[in-house]
Every structure is written in structure tokens, then in C-alpha cells.
Amino acid sequence: MKVYIASEKEIAKMAAQRYVQLINTKPNAIIGGATGSTPIPLYKELAKQCKAGNVSFKNVKSFNLDEYVGLDGTHNQSYRYFMNNQLFKHIDIDINNTFVPSGIDTKNPSKYDDMIKAAGGVDLQLLGIGVDGHIGFNEPGTKFDSLTHVVKLEQNTREVNSRFFKSIDEVPTHAVTMGIKTVMNARSIILIATGKSKAKIVKEFIEGPVTTKCPASILQLHPFVEIYLDEEAASLLKK
């Protein structure tokens, strides 16, 4: 596990270079996307790099971490909608090569894992982290061997995400998410965390024990993980 500490702007540039390096080496790379406010600077930088001709996503496939149950891709708070507007519309990727778990057809969510495997497996998975240590929507207590599944969202998670909705009553109660094993199957992982609110959980998942009480702690066991933090998020780390 490598930890980098920089400004939010520098983090976006550094992380983007990982994508540029990967895709220029492997033009048909498989990337794993994430949503929320944290990756937006990275996505803007990737769009900038693509527009400048430094990288092409024409043969890339993308698999996103999660989606709200009950929202289709036309809903402005669905993660499909987010990815289309924050990244896919601004790069030269084939939209047919972009995949997001279905929030409507949730009868057999683990088929998403079959799709990832058939594509060749994720080369670089992007993650954020919740204040309770969740990655994707894998809340505390999620088994480490879990595959893509439907999860009931914790009240705290819904409250945090309510800022994107008119009220918490509109925030879905369930989501479909890659499982922890799905995430760990990626050949490499980037996790970005910024802000003082993430400092405590950053310390816990990097320096604490590996436990399902903090799902992100399992990343300590992955062979290739890069953590990008700003000064505030890294403020409680000992090392």
C-alpha cells in the first residue's frame, strides 16, 4: 500500500497519470469507476488529458461500483446519469463499453461479476471511502468474500448522500454494489479521500486491524493499492 499526500488538484493530476500510463500501455484496459463528489476533479483531469490527445478511451471498458435500487439511468441522481455527465460524455469512450449495475433488474446481481470476468477483469479500480469505512456500498459487517449484491443502506449513509437529493425521504433505501471480493479481484486499486471528515476513518483503515467493522481495511491485503489523501484526510496518520 502506497500513500500519497497532496492537494486536491495535485491528487487529480497524479491519479490521472496512472490512467494515462495504464491505457497507453494497454489500450483495451478495464477500469472501475466510482461516484460522489470526490472523483470529480479526477474525471475533469481525465477529460482534459483525452481532449489534449494524451490518452484515448476508444477501446477501454468501464465497470462502475454501484447503483441505487429503483433508479434507472435517466434519473438525475442515478450513478449511470452521474457517470455519463461527469466523465463519459467528455471522453472518447464507446458508451456501449460502459457498465453500471442495474438498479431496476436486481434479481441476480452477481451476474455483474460474470460480465467483469468475461471482459478480462478490472485493471484499475477507483474507490472513495465512507466515514464508516464503506467502499462501494459495502457497509460495516459486509463479508470479505461478498460478490455484487443488494444492500440496505445505513441511515448515516443515506443522510450523507441526502445532500444530492431534495430531502432524505428521496434517498433510496437500498443499492446494488460490487462486493468486497469483487473489488479485491481488481489488479490494482486507487482510493481517494479528502477533507477533515475522513481523517479518522483513513487512520483506521490504513493503520488499524483488518476487520469487517471497517470494510476498507481489507485493502491492506491487496498487492497493489495507491491511496491519495489531502493534508486534512492524512492529519491523523502516524507514519
Q: Which of 8, 66, 67, 230 is flagged as catalytic? A: 66
- Indicate if 90 belongs to the active site: no
Start-to-end CA distance of the chain, whole Å, equals 13
- Indicate if 66 belongs to the active site: yes
- Indicate if 230 belongs to the active site: no
User: What is the C-alpha R_g of the chain?
Assistant: 17
Contact (CB, 8 A) for 228 and 191 = yes
Q: Which of 113, 139, 204, 230 is flagged as catalytic? A: 139
- Indicate if 132 belongs to the active site: yes
Q: Which of 92, 132, 154, 226 is flagged as catalytic? A: 132
Q: Which of 8, 67, 123, 134 is flagged as catalytic? A: 134
Q: Reduce the DSSP state of residue 60 to 3 states and report it.
A: coil
Nearest Cα neighbor of 41 from 17, 19, 11, 64 is 11
Cell numbers of 111, please? 451476474
Place of cell 462502475: 64
Separation CA 72–CA 128 (nearest Å): 22
Active-site amino acid positions: 66, 132, 134, 139
